[in-house]
Amino acid sequence: MATKLTDSCLQKVGDDEPIFVLRAQDMLAPGIVRAWAIRLHEWRCPAFPYHYFIECPLPKVQEALALASQMERWSTRKVPD
């Protein structure tokens, strides 16, 4: 479990900075995370053709794609409340 005190990404969040959290149980989350990875690839790797984005050298893209796959395998999935 990540908390602001234990997660390096969350530690960067300002005390009054708005954030948005997607949970693995949210059926929409994997697709949203993949779309975010695609956009990051487009911004940071413009010389890399889109159809090669899975091979993008950015660790953050690879991390997001792996997370999306983990979310899809989550045992309890539902439409957001």
Could you tell me which of 7, 4, 35, 8 has the C-alpha nearest to residue 17? 4
Residue 62 lies in a domain: yes
Residue 45 lies in a domain: yes
The number of folded domains in the chain is 1
Residue 8 lies in a domain: no
- The distance of Cα 31 from the centroid of its chain, to the nearest Å, equals 9
Residue 54 lies in a domain: yes
Residue 10 lies in a domain: no
> CB–CB of 37/64 below 8 Å?
yes
Cα separation, 67 vs 34, in Å, equals 9
Q: What is the pTM of this model?
A: 0.78
Residue 78 lies in a domain: no
Domain of residue 34, residue span: 22-72
Cα separation, 39 vs 72, in Å, equals 20
Q: Summarize pLDDT for 22-80 with one digit per residue, the tens.
A: 999 999 999 999 999 888 888 877 666 655 555 666 788 888 989 999 999 999 989 88
